[in-house]
């Protein structure tokens, strides 16, 4: 067919015209192509093979009442539970604590984000003391239980400092071949790294501060592209950060702020060589030219000695727990043989659903010992009619993120997990933690039940116990008594026959650690703080030994043997799997 000069041929049929999501009618399938630009065979006519997507689509179409929407938010912190928490602080020239965020000069935009976007009413104890110390430019070692606001305690001062620094620097005008962050936040796990990144993005809204994240188990090139756009605050796992530095994509030469979250975990679980390489042997400024902050739920003496190499003239801050170790968590121990666990779990979940006493949007977290058990229990729960998903170390990063996302938004309100989800993760609305398989040490048990009862709220923890778990009978019984809860009589009988299990306890106080520099004389701080009597006295807070919900001292195991400590990356050696 011929066309006259200037006449355009009719448009040939091809791939459909792209429509933005907000212009697409709901009855027309997604018009976007796959990653490589080629539409899959019978794309419009095949059914969605992914059951999760269907469940999530149905969930997103539900309309919640105003009361239910308030329940689903993570802003309902019970601040009244924090009023009488003991605090120990030691060091020279300790800045005085603050009672409100308005007393702190964080900048107008950041203060507005804190008040309006985050809905924070007043600082938690760790924030009251840590933020003034950080704003004063002092190095800090801070110890507080999970769910107490540690992330905000180091993010707020860092963001405020970066805002003041970047205001005098030119803005990013082009892609940078090497990223020069001003602040570095190190975290031991990918999930915790992503959680800190999301919180930091929320805090940095409209501040001009750029946040980026790098972690193992995910494609490296998208992370590189984000770094090329410029970064002020970099959140990273040690392994991936080292890789980026060796690729000459990241330089630490301009670092002014260094924060280590879950510092005891990183130093105690095989990350020490990587941390020392990053902090001491690469191009990071030395102590005195950078500000270093270490945050964790526990700081045993040996970890403090190790961490003190990264600090200079630091202040040690230890915030006690909310009341007793777990008085906000109602603990129930039931005797169940292994062969009867699934039937008991099914009846428990049916009763929970029928009574509705945990709330309409409550989430249930079930802990098992092995990865195979997690997959098997997930499949069984789905067959029984309970929407469930699973997370463990053999799942790729995409699957783990997807499982957490579906659990958090309620599409699958039951999550079966190994110890990969036992520490650090802040999952709102977890009302019930079930230890389907009890761990082999009491610290892991405290970790697990600490996923509920967070931010001063109450929670429920149920544990399936049998003769195989006798080694933790005594510490669990003592933990329940500390929380003013009655332990079953049969549990005390198992405890008497395994009295040596008390060796699992670590420390001697309700604090996650005390400054090893102070010795045993009970003296803390300067004349403003005198001794701990100013915050209730040692006599009121001595005698227990858990140091919060996250006093964690798991045994050293080979990579791949235990899900929590190896195998994340599918092998390797030591604990490289964490990254």
Q: Over the stretch 286-299, which tens digit does the pLDDT of each residue have?
A: 888 999 999 887 77
Work out whether the CA dihedral 515, 520, 526, 529 comes out positive or negative.
positive
Looking at the fold, whether 244 and 393 belong to one and the same domain comes out as no
Give the residue with greater pLDDT, 453 vs 5: 453
265 occurs within a structural domain: yes
Q: How far is CA 415 from CA 44, 157, 364, 377, 389, in A?
A: 32, 35, 6, 10, 5
pLDDT above 50 (res 392): yes
237 occurs within a structural domain: yes
User: pTM value?
Assistant: 0.61
Beta-bridge mates of residue 464 = 334
pLDDT above 50 (res 434): yes
Looking at the fold, whether 135 and 166 belong to one and the same domain comes out as yes
Q: How far is CA 458 from CA 84, 430, 442, 481, in A?
A: 17, 10, 21, 17
175 occurs within a structural domain: yes
Residue from 152, 85, 169, 73 nearest 125 by CA:
85
Whether 184 contacts 139, CB under 8 Å: no
Choose one of 298, 319, 340: the last residue of a domain.
319
Choose one of 507, 527, 558: the last residue of a domain.
507
Average pLDDT over residues 36-64: 41
Query: How high is the pLDDT of residue 345?
Result: 96
pLDDT above 50 (res 575): no
Domain count, the chain: 2
Choose one of 478, 507, 536: the last residue of a domain.
507
Listed range (30-44, 143-157, 427-441) with the worst mean pLDDT: 30-44
pLDDT above 80 (res 467): yes
Whether 190 contacts 214, CB under 8 Å: no
Query: How high is the pLDDT of residue 140?
Result: 94
Query: How high is the pLDDT of residue 40?
Result: 45
Looking at the fold, whether 97 and 197 belong to one and the same domain comes out as yes
Give the residue with greater pLDDT, 423 vs 340: 340
Give the residue with greater pLDDT, 291 vs 518: 291
Whether 432 contacts 358, CB under 8 Å: yes
In the chain, the percentage of residues whose pLDDT exceeds 70 is 66
Joined together, the tokens standing for residue 491 give 């549990």
Structural element, H or E, at residue 263: helix 263-268
| Whole-number average pLDDT of the chain | 74
Looking at the fold, whether 385 and 497 belong to one and the same domain comes out as yes
Looking at the fold, whether 128 and 165 belong to one and the same domain comes out as yes
Tell me the per-residue pLDDT of 393-431, one tens digit each, with 9 for 90 and over.
888 878 888 898 899 888 999 999 988 766 656 677 899
433 occurs within a structural domain: yes
Give the residue with greater pLDDT, 109 vs 169: 109
pLDDT above 70 (res 61): no
Query: How high is the pLDDT of residue 399?
Result: 87
Query: How high is the pLDDT of residue 397?
Result: 78
Looking at the fold, whether 241 and 381 belong to one and the same domain comes out as no
Residue from 225, 230, 192, 226 nearest 209 by CA:
230
266 occurs within a structural domain: yes
Return the axis-axis angle of helices 150-166 and 190-203, rounded to nearest 10°. Answer: 50
8 occurs within a structural domain: no
What is the SS3 assignment for 48? coil
Looking at the fold, whether 307 and 334 belong to one and the same domain comes out as no
438 occurs within a structural domain: yes
CB-based contacts of 453, cutoff 8 Å, min separation 6: 147, 326, 328, 329, 459, 461, 549
Give the residue with greater pLDDT, 336 vs 300: 336
Looking at the fold, whether 115 and 187 belong to one and the same domain comes out as yes
351 occurs within a structural domain: yes
Q: How far apart are CA 455 and CA 77, in angstroms?
A: 5
- Residue 396 sits in a domain of what CATH number? 3.40.50.300
Residue from 308, 438, 423, 318 nearest 367 by CA:
438
Q: How far apart are CA 482 and CA 545, in angstroms?
A: 10
CB-based contacts of 540, cutoff 8 Å, min separation 6: 86
Tell me the per-residue pLDDT of 163-218, one tens digit each, with 9 for 90 and over.
988 654 544 545 678 999 999 999 988 888 998 999 999 999 999 999 999 998 88
Highest mean pLDDT out of 41-50, 77-86, 202-211, 512-521: 202-211
Whether 409 contacts 59, CB under 8 Å: yes
Average pLDDT over residues 257-284: 83
Looking at the fold, whether 123 and 229 belong to one and the same domain comes out as yes
Helices (DSSP H) in 105-250: which residue ranges? 108-112, 125-135, 150-166, 190-203, 220-228, 238-246
pLDDT above 90 (res 280): no
Listed range (378-392, 453-467, 497-511) with the worst mean pLDDT: 497-511
Query: How high is the pLDDT of residue 354?
Result: 86
Q: Tell me which residue range forms the domain holding 386.
A: 329-507
Give the residue with greater pLDDT, 263 vs 152: 152
Tell me the per-residue pLDDT of 307-328, one tens digit each, with 9 for 90 and over.
888 899 999 998 875 434 456 7
Looking at the fold, whether 143 and 177 belong to one and the same domain comes out as yes
Listed range (12-16, 190-194, 471-475) with the worst mean pLDDT: 12-16
Q: How confident is the model at residue 13 (pLDDT cuts 50, 70, 90)?
A: low
Looking at the fold, whether 170 and 194 belong to one and the same domain comes out as yes
CB-based contacts of 487, cutoff 8 Å, min separation 6: 333, 476, 477, 480, 481
pLDDT above 80 (res 548): no
Looking at the fold, whether 269 and 144 belong to one and the same domain comes out as yes
Joined together, the tokens standing for residue 112 give 């507005």
């Amino acid at each position: 067919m011929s066309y006259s000069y200037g006449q355009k041929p009719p448009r040939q049929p091809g791939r459909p015209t792209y429509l933005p999501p907000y212009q697409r009618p709901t009855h027309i399938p997604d018009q976007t192509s796959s990653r490589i630009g080629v539409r899959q065979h019978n794309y419009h006519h095949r059914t969605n093979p992914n059951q999760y997507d269907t469940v999530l689509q149905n969930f997103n179409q539900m309309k919640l009442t105003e009361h239910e929407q308030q329940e689903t938010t993570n802003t309902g912190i019970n601040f009244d539970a924090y009023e009488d928490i003991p605090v120990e602080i030691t060091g020279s020239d300790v800045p005085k604590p603050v009672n409100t965020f308005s007393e702190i000069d964080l900048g107008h935009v950041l203060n507005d984000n804190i008040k309006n976007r985050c809905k924070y009413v007043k600082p938690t104890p760790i924030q009251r003391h840590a933020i003034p110390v950080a704003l004063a430019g002092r190095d800090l070692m801070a110890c507080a239980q999970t769910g107490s606001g540690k992330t905000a305690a180091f993010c707020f001062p860092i963001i405020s400092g970066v805002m003041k620094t970047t205001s005098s620097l030119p803005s990013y005008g082009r892609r940078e071949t090497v990223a020069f962050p001003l602040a570095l936040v190190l975290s031991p796990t990918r999930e915790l790294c992503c959680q800190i990144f999301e919180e930091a993005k929320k805090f940095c809204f409209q501040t001009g501060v750029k946040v980026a994240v790098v972690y193992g188990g995910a494609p490296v090139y998208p992370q590189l592209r984000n770094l090329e756009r410029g970064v002020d605050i970099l959140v990273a796992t040690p392994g991936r950060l080292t890789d980026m530095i060796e690729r000459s994509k990241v330089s630490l030469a301009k670092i002014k702020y260094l924060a280590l979250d879950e510092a005891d975990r990183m130093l105690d679980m095989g990350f020490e060589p990587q941390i020392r390489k990053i902090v001491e042997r690469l191009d990071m400024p030395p102590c005195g030219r950078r500000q270093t902050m270490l945050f964790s739920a526990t700081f045993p003496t040996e970890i403090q000695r190790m961490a003190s190499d990264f600090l200079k003239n630091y202040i040690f801050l230890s915030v006690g727990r909310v009341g007793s170790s777990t008085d906000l968590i109602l603990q129930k121990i039931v005797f169940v043989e292994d062969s009867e666990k699934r039937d008991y779990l099914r009846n428990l979940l049916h009763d929970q659903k029928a009574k509705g006493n945990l709330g309409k949007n409550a989430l249930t977290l079930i802990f098992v010992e092995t990865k195979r058990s997690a997959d098997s229990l997930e499949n069984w729960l789905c067959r029984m009619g309970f929407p469930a998903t699973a997370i463990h170390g053999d799942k790729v990063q995409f699957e783990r993120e997807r499982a957490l996302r579906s659990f958090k938004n309620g599409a699958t309100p039951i999550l079966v997990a190994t110890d990969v989800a036992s520490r650090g993760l802040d999952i709102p609305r977890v009302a019930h933690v079930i230890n389907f398989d009890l761990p082999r040490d009491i610290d892991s048990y405290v970790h697990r039940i600490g996923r509920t009862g967070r931010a001063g709220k109450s929670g429920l923890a149920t544990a399936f116990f049998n003769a195989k778990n006798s080694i933790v009978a005594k510490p669990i019984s003592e933990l329940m008594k500390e929380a003013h809860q009655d332990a079953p009589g049969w549990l005390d009988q198992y405890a008497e026959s395994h009295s040596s299990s008390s060796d699992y306890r670590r420390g001697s106080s309700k604090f996650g650690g005390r400054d090893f520099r102070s010795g045993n004389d009970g003296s803390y701080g300067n004349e403003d703080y005198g001794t701990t009597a100013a915050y209730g006295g040692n006599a009121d807070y001595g005698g227990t030994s858990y140091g919060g919900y996250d006093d964690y001292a798991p045994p050293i195991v080979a990579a791949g043997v235990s899900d929590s400590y190896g195998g994340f990356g599918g092998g390797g050696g030591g604990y490289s799997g964490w990254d």
